[in-house]
Amino acid sequence: TTYGPPPEKRAGIVSFNVEDVHPHDVAQILDLEAVAIRAGHHCCQPLMRKLGVVATNRASFYLYSTAAEVDRLVEGLHRARRMFA
């Protein structure tokens, strides 16, 4: 599940959750793949309550992000899903 504005209005930040996997577990699996993301409330607990979630994951992309890094992120998300879901 992704959160935020539609893709055409988004910056290089994507907030998301992997169904049935706690955001901290996702972050730990991605860390094992050498991918750093944020997991938690992101200083916006009222928004988390409104969304009905305990926390989210947040990945940031910029000009220096490589295709290999994005591939590691995707593979790590698949791995987390296989392990925890």
Which residues are the active-site residues? 43
Q: Which helix (H) or strand (E) holds 40?
A: strand 38-40
3 three-class SS: strand
14's tokens: 């994507």
56 three-class SS: strand
37's tokens: 């993301």
